[in-house]
């Protein structure tokens, strides 16, 4: 699963042993809103090339990975049984006040 590296719980760091039923594999996939933009007649009258150039300039300081992370991100984490029980009930964590 992780090669020669020890397998540890993503939350608490407890070492996990495959085959002992002591952990969960959690796969998370996040992607930007997949629906097309709401375009107005005014939007359609804009200089498309100019808009593309403006967007490219705004993104020029981003690495390829940073740009991609704004659109799509996938990760796999391992959680021990205890951390999984807490996480599955509240995957986003406690509400901030």
pLDDT tens, position by position, 37-84: 898 999 888 888 998 999 899 999 999 999 888 899 999 999 999 999
Instruction: Show the domain range for 51.
Output: 7-89
Report the predicted TM-score, pTM, of the whole model to 2 decimal places.
Answer: 0.69
Q: Is residue 31 part of a domain?
A: yes
Which band of pLDDT confidence, cut at 50, 70 and 90, is reported for residue 97? low
Residue 1: per-residue pLDDT: 54
In angstroms, rounded to a whole number, what is the distance separating the alpha carbons of residues 44 and 53?
Answer: 16
- Taking the CA atoms of residue 5, residue 91, residue 30 and residue 32 in that order, the dihedral angle to the nearest 10 degrees is -150
- Report d(CA 79, CA 66) in Å as an integer: 26
Is 30 a member of any domain? yes
Instruction: Establish if 72 belongs to a structural domain.
Output: yes
Quickly state the pLDDT bin for 3 (edges 50, 70, 90): low
If you compute the radius of gyration of the chain from its CA atoms, what whole number of angstroms results? 21
Residue 2 above 90 pLDDT?
Answer: no
Residue 95 lies in a domain: no
Say which residues have a Cβ less than 8 Å from residue 8's Cβ, sequence separation at least 6.
14, 15, 16, 78
In a domain, 1, yes or no: no
For residue 94, tell me if it sits in a domain: no
Number of folded domains in the chain?
1
């Amino acid at each position: 699963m992780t090669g020669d590296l020890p397998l540890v719980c993503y939350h608490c760091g407890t070492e996990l042993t495959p085959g002992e039923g002591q952990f969960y594999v959690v796969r998370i996939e996040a992607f930007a809103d997949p629906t097309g933009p709401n375009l107005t007649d005014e939007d359609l009258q804009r200089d498309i090339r100019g808009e593309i150039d403006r967007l490219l300039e705004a993104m020029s300081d981003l690495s390829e990975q940073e740009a991609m992370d704004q659109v799509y991100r996938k990760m796999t984490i391992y959680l021990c049984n205890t951390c999984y029980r807490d996480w599955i009930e509240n995957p986003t964590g406690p509400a901030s006040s």
